[in-house]
Structure 1
Amino acid sequence: MKLIRFGESGKEKPGVLIDNKRYDVSSIVTDYNEAFFENDGLTKLKEALQNSTSFPEVEDTIRLGSPVARPSKIICIGLNYVDHCEETNAPIPAEPIVFFKSTTSLCGPNDNLIIPKNSEKTDWEVELAFVVSKKASYVTEEEAHNYIAGYCLLNDYSERAFQLERGGQWTKGKGSDTFAPLGPVLATPDEVKDVNNLGMWLTVNGKKFQNSNTSNLIFKIPFLIHYLSQFMTLLPGDVISTGTPPGVGLGIKPDPIYIKAGDVIELGIEGLGTSKQVAVAYQ
């Protein structure tokens, strides 16, 4: 299945994408939230779809929101591609680098990117994200596949001056409003042929800056689930983003490039769709 949420921001309804058509399933699902995943909502929804074809169609013109409702956590992995480490002059990590994005940074895949007040260096990062299907604590790597609800496209926007020049942890540069556009879909694992071999790309104003493949991840998803669950309990609906490949604005030589108002950022991952954000100044 491919799950979507649609409608006005803050009032989204749950839906599904079938053969490129959107359907409203709010008659049987309240929302794609922690309770939905915790109570085996994916299995129940799949059964309902098999037993009925009467769900109303949703027009393509209606806004898409994040395919999951606000999760308890958005956990991100930094420097998880060797060539991204090289472009940012960072050592290859011996263990995953972990940071958080605020849940208020979550937004729809095609919502505007709001450049934060006083921002100097807002940057882009195409990433593969996944959603946790059930409560996870001290999970083995071998068991990890049982904890994946599905996969999503995410743009991990980053304000590099806040992140790297203001002291402390990276989080200050990661959590601004609209800094985590997610979707368009949450694709369940059966929809993805090989999550370790998905093409991914990102353009700014039509110029391609990122062009890579998930095969280049240093730490793969099963290990990340195992690793993170040693330090915290992962809850159903939590979003985990796996890191970005090379081609970020910070890494462009000799002069980095950063986002300005009016820029158009487009990105995609094979099988997970595409998204598009237009940058606007904070007002």
Structure 2
Amino acid sequence: MLTDVKRTPGEKAFDWLNLIIVLVITFIILYPLVFVLFASMSDPRKMFDSPLLFWPKGFNLDSYVTVFENKDIWMGYGNTVLYTTVGTFINIMMTVFGAYPLSRKRFYGKGLFTFLFTFTMFFGGGLIPSYLVNQQLGIVNTMWVLVLPGAISAFNLIIMRTYFQTQIPLELEESAYVDGCNDYRLLYKIVLPLSTPIIAVMVLFYGVGHWNSYFEAMIYMSDRGQYPLQLILREILIKNEFKDMLGIAVDSQYADRMIVREGLKYAVVVVSSLPLLILYPLLSKFFEKGILVGAIKG
């Protein structure tokens, strides 16, 4: 019969020390997010009284009202949702179609193709050749320049290939062929339903990448009506373009507008990050399983 093992005072002290360290690290990681959230809901004039915020000071949602009244924010939101949805769909389709053949032993030349995909992780053509290629293709200043050049991530492709290798048994594939399945039906009816964890992880990876991307749009987009949200956010946070929100006249109320601008910055950050904060908990249950199984070949 098993009996409880008494822990020594040293072991208990070690556990408490670990707990304290974990709590401190958790606080350091979460506080910037909490600070931005509370700052966006605080009275901007009271934020300067104390540099640290542990709760909203002078609860105020005027910054959010001002943000949502700005047409550029809504325009950027619509563009980003479109780019993220279309781009992630293309990414998942291309990654699945690339990873599944590379995971099958009977695919001739898979070693060569895997090497070619891996080669792109270390060597690239550079920004200017990429721009010239996209210009020759006629996709500059269109949505497709943001979603087609990066249709496949070699890193994600290798993770998904490893998942297919370890989680889709060859016996299951052989029995499906005996029952009359072809390659496409096997992929659609059997492989994809069994690959929900890794697909959810890829959706999260690709979706976050598209949502946070701004550099490609800054390089390839000249039509402001097609700017994604992150480029609008960059203008607000870095270039301080609040002309439509606050006006630019320097008068007796100029100082008040500059104070309000600080609250607007935090509100814009919260608004732009909110969809990802909602998406991650929905996919988190698949995240650990998909990453561990897809990254480790056993």
What is the TM-score normalised by the length of structure 1? Answer: 0.23
Look at both structures and tell me which one has the larger radius of gyration over its CA atoms. 2
Higher RCO (Cα < 8 Å, 6 or more apart): 2
Report which of the two has the higher share of helix.
2
What is the TM-score normalised by the length of structure 2? Answer: 0.22
